[in-house]
Amino acid sequence: MVELTALIKSWFWFLKPSKVLFKGTGIYSNIKVTRRGDRTNLYTGKNYLQTSVDNTVKPYGSYSDWFLAAPWLSGKFDGKIDSLLVLGLAGGTIVKDFNRYYSINKIAAVEIDPLIIELGKKYFELNDSNLTTINADAGSYFSATSEIYDLIIMDIFKENVFDITCQSKGYFQELKKHLSAEGIVFINKLKSDPANIRLSADLKEIFKNVITLQIQDTLFFAATDSLSAPTTRNGVQDIFITASKFNPDLKYFNHINPRSIGIV
């Protein structure tokens, strides 16, 4: 009953009165932070909801909850990550969720807008001891660093448009140089984006294994050279069964429709 109450709460948060905490202008668009009940929201541009955080609600299978699936798709995940890179920080949902459920040694988060970084620290509690925020353009970040990562998550949107400078074949060839031997890159795209066809082909040329997950209106791409990565739908499902047992809050992994899984 408690779990059902929390789920209903997560569905109807928008019916509560909203309080504006901040309104201002970033380098690309207007930015607004609001609070409704226990939920803090970050809006950009023409009221586009960029981040929505309520730490009292457990993950239940929304598209944003599926970022937590990323490390499992390497096939050799034990709940620990030495080095995580997040491209596109926004309000830091990914950072908070990964620190909540996994053991992360260090996290680097790249965000192009310094105002977003400031608001994240002030309103979204982005002061985790293992987090380093980097004010930089994700499109040129890899040419300025020598760091190696076990997991790279790409959530790079300007409103609802994926950053076009971060999806070329050359970009992913450079990105791969910054992945560990069994590292994985996990990319959030809208499933309706026509560029996904080209992206799928490019990733397959660069990486040994490419997996897609269609979750609601989102198409996630997972690419890795890990020899342990699943190569069939059944293999992906088996990994998610294992993951769902790792923590009871991740049981939604076990409910994925097999037809939502793609092997490129």
Contact criterion met (CB below 8 Å) for 87 and 155: yes
Average pLDDT over every residue of 205-230:
97
What sign results for the dihedral spanned by CA atoms 93, 96, 101, 105? positive
Average pLDDT over every residue of 204-221:
97
What's at 188, amino acid-wise? N
pLDDT for the residue 10: 52
pLDDT tens digits for 136-155? 999 999 999 999 999 999 99
Q: At what angle do helices 196-206 and 169-176 cross, to 10 degrees?
A: 40
Closest CA to 87 of 70, 62, 63, 73: 70
CA atoms within 13 A on the CB side of 236: 23
Length of the chain: 264
Percent above pLDDT 90 for the chain: 78
Q: How open is the CA angle 149-155-157, to the nearest 5 degrees? A: 145
What pTM does this model have? Answer: 0.91
Q: Give the least confident one: 34-48, 158-172, 197-211.
A: 158-172
pLDDT tens digits for 9-26? 555 556 667 899 999 999
Active site residues: 155
What is the residue whose two structure tokens read 């992360």? 104
pLDDT for the residue 115: 95
Taken in order of first residue, the domains within the chain and their CATH numbers are 2-53 (no CATH), 63-263 (3.40.50.150)
Contact criterion met (CB below 8 Å) for 141 and 174: no
Closest CA to 51 of 101, 113, 123: 123
pLDDT for the residue 157: 73
Residue 2 scores a pLDDT above 50: no
If one counts every other C-beta atom within 10 angstroms of the C-beta of residue 62, the result is 15
